[in-house]
């Protein structure tokens, strides 16, 4: 083996490793940008995004309380309702109902995401294995 070729081979191998690393870093940055882009997800799953936004809005917006006294008088009510303290059983029932409703929505959302991902994977697999026809766009 010639001594002059070993350093040259080493330089070439290092150059290839640097080029591959650069390509991998660019690909990872592109993938990270795609994952962080909400528009990409909305284009691919519009129904899921709209349903999720509606569910979040439903859970975040506070429940409407009874009318204030001024509004009650303006609407013609003689006396505004005075709030009575809730019993412990009613409070526990309300907390339990809220917990069950939230967990149910969480479960349904997860099932919906799983279903959409499976459907998307099936569709992509079918497109990859389908024969391409000339002049027919996909």
Higher confidence at residue 137 or residue 14?
A: 14
pLDDT band per the 50, 70, 90 thresholds, residue 27:
confident
* pTM listed for this prediction: 0.33
Domain boundaries, the chain: 8-44, 45-62+86-129
In sequence order, which ranges of 61-130 are alpha helices (DSSP H)? 69-74, 88-129
- Beta strand residue intervals within 26-83, DSSP E: none
Q: What is the pLDDT of residue 62?
A: 74
Residue 17 has pLDDT above 80, yes or no: yes
Range 52-81 average pLDDT: 70
Q: What is the pLDDT of residue 80?
A: 45
Residue 35 has pLDDT above 70, yes or no: yes
Say if residues 75 and 67 touch (Cβ distance below 8 Å): yes
Residue 31 has pLDDT above 70, yes or no: yes
């Amino acid at each position: 083996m010639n001594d002059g070729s070993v350093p040259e081979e080493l330089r070439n191998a290092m150059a290839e490793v640097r080029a591959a690393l650069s390509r991998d870093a660019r690909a990872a940055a592109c993938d990270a940008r795609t994952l962080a882009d909400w528009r990409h997800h909305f284009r691919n799953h519009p129904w899921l995004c709209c349903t999720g936004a509606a569910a979040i809005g439903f859970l975040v917006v506070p429940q409407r309380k009874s009318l204030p006294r001024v509004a009650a008088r303006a609407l013609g009510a003689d006396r505004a309702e005075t709030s009575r303290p809730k019993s412990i059983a009613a409070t526990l029932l309300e907390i339990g109902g809220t917990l069950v409703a939230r967990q149910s929505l969480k479960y349904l959302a997860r099932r919906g995401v799983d279903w959409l991902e499976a459907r998307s994977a099936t569709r992509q697999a079918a497109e990859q294995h389908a024969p391409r026809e000339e002049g027919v766009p996909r």
